Every structure is written in C-alpha cells, then in structure tokens.
A = this chain, B = another copy of it.
C-alpha cells in the first residue's frame, strides 16, 4: 500500500489533485490507515496514472468520471469504452498535428527575428 505522497510521486500528480479527484468521484474514497491517512493499492496507482494520461490528452474530469462509472459497470460497457478511447485517440492525433503547426509558426517567427525584423 502507498501513502498519498508516494502515490502522487509515482503517478506524477500533485497530492491536492488526487484528493480533488476523489472528491469528484474519479476514485473510490481511499482506504485509511489507523492514523486516518489514505492508502492506495497498486491497482489504484495504475488508475491514477491512467487518469493522468486521460487528463493530459484533454479529457475533462467529468468525462473521466463517466468512463470510470462504465469500467465499474463491467464488460457490458466495453464497446462504449472502446469508442470513447478511440475518439480520444483521434482528438490526440489532431492535437499533435496542431502542435506541429504551432512549432512551424514559432520557427517562422524566429526566422524573422534572425533576419533582424522586429515583428
């Protein structure tokens, strides 16, 4: 079992963010130690890592909660979940292309600067 500090470190999340996700229902209320400190299993840690991944792809907290509810509902929701993840994958691909064009824009600006232009 991991403390919230360890979990945060492992998952690359802020402690406050983990508590926030718990409040929002993205996680079951964590088990507690005798000192009332949150304790996380390996599985919960993996889920935190995946939450982080989904958040970074731009999925909203509320949508992740919907997804989590589906996971809990069992294999009947698999097709729906596959669709959801595929859609997220599409968005991510679009986003990567957008980033590349932003990169080009920055490079173009740098070129102008290298030529001594002020704009």
Contact = CB atoms under 8 A, between A and B. Distances in A.
A24 interface: no
Contact of A71 (B74, B81, B118): B118
Interface of A: 50, 53, 56-57, 71, 74-75, 78, 81-82, 85-86, 88-89, 92-93, 95-96, 98-100, 102-103, 105-107, 109-110, 113-114, 116, 118-119
Majority DSSP secondary structure for residues of A touching B = helix
B50 A105 contact: yes
Contacts of A92: 99, 102-103, 106
Contacts of A53: 102, 105-106
Oligomer copy total: 2
Q: Which 7 pairs from chain A and chain B are nearest by CB?
A: A53-B105, A89-B106, A96-B99, A82-B113, A57-B102, A53-B102, A75-B118
Given A71-B118, A75-B116, A92-B99, 13 more contacts: A53-B102, A56-B102, A57-B106, A78-B116, A81-B113, A82-B113, A85-B106, A85-B109, A85-B113, A89-B106, A92-B102, A96-B99, A96-B103
